[in-house]
Structure 1
Amino acid sequence: MHIPPFDNHNKAIVDVDDTHVPLTYFNIVKLKVGERFDYRLAGYETCVVPATGTVTVEVAEQVFADIGTRGADVWDGDPEGVYVPTNASARITARTDTEVFIAGAQFAETLTPFAARSGDIDLVQYGSDDTKTHRKIKHILGTDHHDRVGRLLVSELFTVGAGGWSGFPSHKHDTDRLPDETRHDECYNFRFKPDYGSGLQMVQRVDNEPGDAYHIINGSTVLIDNGYHPCCALPGYEMYYFTILGGLSQRSLKQYFQPTHAAQLHTIPGIMDMVETFK
């Protein structure tokens, strides 16, 4: 499902118990310096990630100051975030004008809040210019935080250079059938550089049968409930997408690669190392 960009007035774009991706939650909050935003989600753990600007996050009587170092856009430095446990009240205070992503996943237990600073980010780069798959992943809640988070995975994905494919070879994660696959609902928010760039999100429900395609632009949100789902940026444009994964039975993601294209796993440098980082 494609949700075109719109002014959400700081209300959830993907709310709790969403029809398509009930395991995830997504909100974009825009604040001027000094403004505050309060929230509390029952049944969902969340992560507060400034796309731009700097915030202070107060949660469970703890204060996490000066979260976020980016200025102009999401390419302007590494991300930072604050983990907000299920059922915990959180207050976001803008230290500068800011745009904040709130990513969430369904989880019943209440854990302990913490900050993920830029130095804590797991960085993975794989693919190649020759295969048109060169990209970089910055895991905000990655493998290093596995024991501190319930079901939520949060990362930022960048194409390296202009144009190219991401999420290929095509994979899916819509059915719990370990050890081959896990069910993880997924939500993306896209940005392009320059911001008038665009791309394409494919969703192929069944191997070797026609699927759907969405024209994605700066600010597009895409919900992945089932099917194989590669995406691409037009030549000449850089693409970024904020990625939220919520697992049904476990946090670690087990992708099932599309049989038709699985042989290309051996042609793309570093891809199996990338797969191991979604834990």
Structure 2
Amino acid sequence: MKTVTPEAAGWTYSGLRVLDLVGTHEFQTGDDEVLVLPLAGSCTVECDGETFTLDGRADVFAGVTDFAYAPRDATVTVTGEGRFAIPTARASRRLAPRYGPAEKVPVELRGAGSCSRQVNNFCTPDVFAADRLIACEVLTPGGNWSSYPPHKHDEDRPGESVLEEIYYFEVRGADGMAYQRVYGPDTDMLAEVRSGDVVLIPRGWHGPSMAAPGYDLYYLNVMAGPRRAWEICDDPAHAWIRDTWAAQEVDPRLPFGRGVTT
């Protein structure tokens, strides 16, 4: 199991586990609220006397998936076969366990031209109730850029909301690769990423996420902070890029997944 905890990351709120499962796995949520999100496969999720059947999907490019939410201070049992993401956030409130149906996940086609990408907004603040956890999926056709213009989720001022962000990547194709840029006062990184890789972004500018030609790119964004507010600020040096999209068409390869509507 790939695991990122707030303690291991050196921050306060965001975490992620990726579980490869054949059979049953039981865990305690402790101080965290969590999601069970099928990346490939299906499962049942039991929590607080509730049982949710997740139909899942063949892989992350096959379409949106249903998911389950479990609160802090709970026992969760996952039974099935496949690969499952478990985004987590340190929570102060204990909400009820719930099922998130795939048909209620808003699918957004963002950008245009070579900046076209698909965003599955399954656990954003205006879509699904949680205490602190924010999560979405981004799918980028090969050769395109996403997380662009570069942006950040803080204002570098005391008292402002800072979202601790995790990127979990999958690339279509056995030898596929992509690239992720992160920069700011304390870091300047351009890293090659492959399926299963994770990039941690505590603050500062991030983007673009670059899908190499021939290799479609998926990433799961997991975010949490002191407030559940998805505040986005473009790098002013590159914000003008958004103005160019009005004259371009959205990439016709989007959306990914049969039966997906936007």
Q: Normalised by the size of structure 2, how large is the TM-score?
A: 0.87
Aligned twin of 1:142: 124
Distance, in Å, in 2 between the alignment partners of 1:164 and 1:20 is: 32
Equivalent residue letter for 1:85: P
Q: Normalised by the size of structure 1, how large is the TM-score?
A: 0.82
Equivalent residue letter for 2:131: G
Alignment of 1:61-80 (within 5 A): 61-65=49-53, 67-71=54-58, 73-80=59-66
Alignment of 1:10-159 (within 5 A): 10=1, 12-32=2-22, 35-65=23-53, 67-71=54-58, 73-94=59-80, 97-129=81-113, 132-146=114-128, 148-159=129-140
Deviation at 1:214, TM superposition (A): 1.0
Deviations 1:208-227 (A, max 9, x none): x9821111112111111122
Corresponding residue to 1:257 among 201, 212, 234: 234
Distance, in Å, in 1 between the alignment partners of 2:213 and 2:74 is: 44
Distance, in Å, in 2 between the alignment partners of 1:173 and 1:20 is: 18
Distance, in Å, in 2 between the alignment partners of 1:118 and 1:238 is: 22
Alignment of 1:217-232 (within 5 A): 217-230=194-207, 231-232=209-210
For structure 2, the residue ranges without an aligned partner over 5 or more in a row are: 248-262
1:267 matched to 2:241? The reply is no
Sequence identity (%): 26
Distance, in Å, in 2 between the alignment partners of 1:234 and 1:58 is: 39
Across the aligned residues of Structure 1 and Structure 2, the Cα RMSD in angstroms comes to 2.2
Deviation at 1:111, TM superposition (A): 0.6
Equivalenced residue count is 246
Kindly tell me: are residues 115 and 176 of structure 1, through their superposed partners in 2, closer, same or farther at Cα, counting changes over 3 Å? farther
Contact 1:20 1:223 in 2 (8 A): no
Deviations 1:236-277 (A, max 9, x none): 2110001111122x212111211211222322359xxxxxxx
Deviations 1:139-197 (A, max 9, x none): 12134544x311111111001x3211111111112457599x63100111111111311
1:212 matched to 2:178? The reply is no
Distance, in Å, in 2 between the alignment partners of 1:202 and 1:168 is: 10
Aligned twin of 2:176: 197
Deviation at 1:51, TM superposition (A): 0.5
Structure 1, 75-84 or 55-64: larger mean CA deviation:
75-84
Distance, in Å, in 1 between the alignment partners of 2:77 and 2:187 is: 45
Distance, in Å, in 2 between the alignment partners of 1:267 and 1:106 is: 39
Corresponding residue to 1:167 among 130, 138, 147: 147
3-state SS, counterpart of residue 94 of structure 2? coil
Distance, in Å, in 1 between the alignment partners of 2:20 and 2:234 is: 37
Distance, in Å, in 1 between the alignment partners of 2:187 and 2:43 is: 44
Corresponding residue to 2:162 among 164, 183, 204: 183
Contact 1:126 1:269 in 2 (8 A): no
Structure 1, 137-146 or 35-44: larger mean CA deviation:
137-146
Contact 1:86 1:107 in 2 (8 A): yes
Contact 2:9 2:200 in 1 (8 A): no
Contact 1:52 1:68 in 2 (8 A): no
Kindly tell me: are residues 43 and 176 of structure 1, through their superposed partners in 2, closer, same or farther at Cα, counting changes over 3 Å? farther
Contact 1:174 1:225 in 2 (8 A): no
